[in-house]
Amino acid sequence: MSACPGCGLDLPDSDGPTHPYIGASAACWALYGELLAREYGELRYPPSHRLTVDVYAVQHPGKPERRAIQSVAVHLMALYLVLEREVATVTVRELMDRILRTEPALEWLEPPVPNGGVTVRDVLASRDLAEHKDAVERWAADVWAAWSQHHERVRGWIDECL
């Protein structure tokens, strides 16, 4: 057993694949794959899918390198837009495309410890679409709150870019 470097979830050791810059253990990355397969299949691509992707990336920030810096920043901005500005998830993608075209000056934000207490495993425990939606929203709110020390910087990026 070992703790995932992103979410801290204690999982069996695994030699499976991981992502090149998202900082998840192989076992946690496999759970995320299960969750995505469930969302694309059984749940028929629910509106909460956007939050699933954003929160997993933020909860698994990786190391301070260009791709990870951009990933965390973009996904934090998306969480901010949905959770605080109440922008519809379908609109967030368009806004994120606009933001990235401005080539914002992004920097590494030191991840919180712990990086939230809700994890991909909690979402996988949901039994139907309503529970899934609630679990994803709870996960997103929990991780967004964990990053509270960086909220002003995230808001600043949004203000600079939009």
pLDDT score for 103: 86
Question: Dihedral (C-alpha) 84, 21, 113, 137: value to the nearest 10 degrees?
Answer: 30
- pTM comes to 0.96
3-state secondary structure of 49: helix
Query: How many other C-beta atoms lie within 10 A of the C-beta of residue 103?
Result: 8
- Cβ burial of 102 (10 Å; 0-12, 13-18, 19+) is exposed
Q: Distance between CA 91 and CA 30 in Å, rounded?
A: 29
Distances (CA, A) of 7 to 4, 20, 102, 136, 158: 6, 17, 31, 15, 26
pLDDT score for 28: 98
pLDDT score for 144: 98
Instruction: Locate 123 and state its tokens.
Output: 């979402």
Residue 70, pLDDT above cutoff 90:
yes
Residue 106 — very low, low, confident or very high, per pLDDT cuts 50/70/90? very high
Q: Give the model confidence (pLDDT) of 5-62 as tens digits.
A: 999 999 999 999 999 999 999 999 999 999 999 999 999 999 899 999 999 999 999 9
Percent of the chain with pLDDT over 90: 92
